[in-house]
Structure 1
Amino acid sequence: MFWPDKLDQPHALHYLPDLARALVVLADSEASWGRAWNLPSPKPLTGRQYAAAAALDGRTRVSAVPKLALRTACLFETQARDVTEIFWQFDRPFLIEASAIEPTSDS
């Protein structure tokens, strides 16, 4: 498995069906209109943690892909271009602050 840049930076990941459900709920509530929303994610994982969680055989290896390698890959692979556009999310912690939408312990 390949991971952009640093393997030990925490990264908030989302599951697309969960995001879709949250967006439907927000769109259906007039109280949510007119402002930006950060949608919550599970606990952020590092590249190493993600690889370990995704390993079906228990032996999946993960390799960091440096920015220069991704830029070079862009010459041959169009999907690599998409990753270079979001590379900034992987070279430092990428965390989501979503307290405005997350349920509180009082709910």
Structure 2
Amino acid sequence: MKSKYMDAQKIITTLKHKEFIKIVHKGNCFEDGAAVYAKEIKENIFLLFIILKDIDIENIQALIAHFDCFNSIGLKEPEQVMFHLSIKDKNDLHYFEQYLKASHN
């Protein structure tokens, strides 16, 4: 039986292959220990994946947000958040993939 839960390592590997860059965050914008990956999708508009490690469940936040520059991610709050999704299982990830496909049309 396949698990409905995600494999965070598999997702991180996929993000690296899709040219996402791991953000070293020093500010208070993200939880300590969170792995943050970002990719610019339009000028100063970024797609972020924030992978939070909890004791019982993996939680991934997907975010499309406007920052003044790439280097401000993790140091400053975004100027605007256009989309936010909490991904807790594979069904949520499927819905997010559908959103991304629709946004390219």
Q: Please report the TM-score for the alignment, with normalisation by the length of structure 2.
A: 0.24
Larger helix proportion, structure 1 or 2? 1
Q: Could you say which structure has the larger radius of gyration?
A: 1
Larger strand proportion, structure 1 or 2? 2
Q: Please report the TM-score for the alignment, with normalisation by the length of structure 1.
A: 0.24
Structure of higher RCO (CA pairs closer than 8 Å, 6+ residues apart): 1
